[in-house]
Amino acid sequence: MKEYFSYYKEGKGITFSFKDNIVVKDIESVASSKILKGYKPVFDATVVTKVKKAGYDILGKTLQDEFGFGSFCTNLDTSFNTPRNPLHPDRVTGGSSGGAAGAAKKIKNHIAIAESTGGSIANPAAFCNVIGLTPTYGLVSRYGLIDYANSLDKIGVISSSLELVSLGLQKIAGYDEKDSTSVKVDIPDYTKRKVIKPVLGIPKGYLGIVDPVIKKDFEKVITSLKNKVVFKEVDLPLNKKYSVSTYYIIAMAEASTNLAKYTGLRYGFTKDFEKNDFNEFSSLVRSECFGEESKRRIMLGTFTRMAGYRDQYYDKALRVRRLLINEYKDVLKKVDGIIHPTMPIHPPKFEDVKDLKPLEVYNMDLLTVGANLAGLPHISMPIKASLPTGVMITTDHFEEKKLLDIGGLFE
Ligand code: GLN
């Protein structure tokens, strides 16, 4: 189980871990990036403070794609271990929170605190057959998160049972004056379950884009729940068409600005300055340390927000995002939640992801990016199938309690 961690220590009882991009005082916290190697934070993220105050043992920091850039937990520096799927070691864990999902599957009574920008909680939860809950944007403080894309990042929970997921959320949710995007809302008791008969919408056309085996397994679950849930068809045409491109433009633009602070001077990795000037020096450090995917995102992200291109790409993506949110909100007036498979594929084998083109990988996020762009809470529940498969349910903002109650019907 240590293979899921970049730092590990034994613990007792119900234990917690934190994705490597969540800072823990005095413990190397590097978002699985070489450029931060050696960085030991001088403070705890708010979620870490809360868990420590509650008295739980912390097992350590879980592996991830570098800065969260990826879907398989294979985009990390070679000095880190690449985690393997806990059920099928020749397959990936999913990402970017692959270490968190693997740890949640392998360790009894474990609550893995992870982070999602565009699906990094739901995706690995589905691939490792565990539960992943991504809360509403603003419900959980991100103070102390090594940011990927600030308008999208959310800290959430991965664990093996709904009971542990709700306990984890209970411990980390709530307003924090240190995070200006944190929202003041009443926090209900997430751990109490209520039996409800929800109306769930299946978006038109979404089953047509998933692997036929996943479609069949999903339909079986739907049929088996006919007495407990009312299913109906809903339509999210704009999300189906535009969510991936909108997400990647916004995420990369924000990521490229966030990565600008890593120059080899202030955090982590550095080199002897010698006689190089600053630009030369930081180029050397950045060329050596950033992985291929990070470099790609810096270049594409910088391009989309450059003078002359900004209104064609970044500004337009922001406007489209508003339309996508409105579309979700309209549908959620008519149903309690939206349901579809979490991922269009099963966890792929390592040998099959090596040669995938970036766009092919990005397109696999189609089912998870919409809810993330809209800041809507969503949960991935594992279902019975020959290979790990999840169903993802999305509710309206701050309806985590309802989301957990709906999750109960699938457990
Ligand atoms: N796969 C998506 C990406 O690479 C989501 C990652 C995430 O949520 N951190 O951006």
Strands 390-394 and 378-382: antiparallel
Q: What letters, b where the CB count within 10 A reaches 16 and e where it falls short, cover 5-19?
A: bbbbeebeebbbbbb
Chain centroid to CA 404: 18
The string of pLDDT tens digits covering residues 170-196 is 999 999 999 999 999 999 999 999 999
What are the residues whose beta carbons fall under 8 Å from the beta carbon of 197, sequence distance 6 or more? 228, 229, 230
Question: What percent of the chain has a predicted confidence (pLDDT) above 90?
Answer: 95
Nearest ligand 1 atom to the CA of 251 is 10
The stretch 299-309 carries a mean pLDDT of: 95
71 lines ligand 1 (CB under 6 A): yes
CB 115 within 8 A of CB 21: yes
- Helix (H), strand (E), coil (C) string for 131-191: EEEECCCCCECCCCECCCCCCCCEEEEEECCHHHHHHHHHHHECCCCCCCCCCCCCCCCCC
255 Cα to the center of ligand 1, angstroms: 11
Q: Among positive and negative, which fits the CA dihedral 378, 379, 384, 387?
A: positive
Give all domains of the chain, ordered by start, each with its CATH number: 2-238+321-410 (3.90.1300.10)
247 lines ligand 1 (CB under 6 A): no
Tokens of 411: 């457990």
Degrees to nearest 5, angle at CA 108 with 118 and 53: 75
Q: If pLDDT is split at 50, 70 and 90, which confidence band does 275 have?
A: low
Tokens of 81: 């271990």
CB 344 within 8 A of CB 214: yes
CB 144 within 8 A of CB 179: no
Q: Residue 272: pLDDT above 90?
A: no
Residues 258, 264: Cα–Cα separation, whole Å:
14
| Pocket mutation for ligand 1, best pick of 365, 367, 378, 380 (most atoms within 8 Å of C-beta) | 365
CB 51 within 8 A of CB 76: no
148 lines ligand 1 (CB under 6 A): yes
Q: Which residues are catalytic?
A: 19, 96, 120
| Pocket mutation for ligand 1, best pick of 20, 32, 69 (most atoms within 8 Å of C-beta) | 69
Chain centroid to CA 367: 13
The string of pLDDT tens digits covering residues 7-17 is 999 999 999 99
What are the residues whose beta carbons fall under 8 Å from the beta carbon of 38, sequence distance 6 or more? 28, 268, 269
362 Cα to the center of ligand 1, angstroms: 9
The string of pLDDT tens digits covering residues 114-168 is 999 999 999 999 999 999 999 999 999 999 999 999 999 999 999 999 999 999 9
